[in-house]
Structure 1
Amino acid sequence: MSRTITQAELRNGSAGVMDALEAGDDFIITRNGRPVGELRPIRAERDVATADLKARLARFLAAGSAEQERAELDAAFGADRLDD
């Protein structure tokens, strides 16, 4: 769940916000009481061995429907965060 902070809180408490981001917290930034942006931690990229990637792609190509393809991609690479 995202924590809501004002523009002034972000400006005046940026070190604490950065610490919280590193700890995995998300923020919604408001200006004049209206949400204007989000801050989220960057996920660490994972290294995937070539053989593992080939196996994952082979399972993806063998999927029989768009839903199965999506499930395979989410399982292999993680679910999208766009719907948060």
Structure 2
Amino acid sequence: MEKIAWTLLEVGMQKEEYKGYVLWGHAMARRAAVEAGNFWAASGTVTKDRELVGASGVLEVFEEEFAAEEAGIAWAREWVDKHG
């Protein structure tokens, strides 16, 4: 597997409340050293009572910011359904 160097350019977030948890879908714009152009890396986090209880790391890379945020929210919902 080839490692990719990340330079963070911009971050977008989407918030959703679900089964007593607050879910966050993150979109991080990055420029890969081995690729040309900008893409959106998706991640998700889960909080309860203002404490972090779950985090995904990078899930996938998308061309659209909204798609990356949605992927993060979807991961967070699955986390709650499994652990909540």
Classify the TM-score, shorter chain. under 0.3
Q: Which has the higher helix share?
A: 1
Of the two, which has the highest radius of gyration?
1
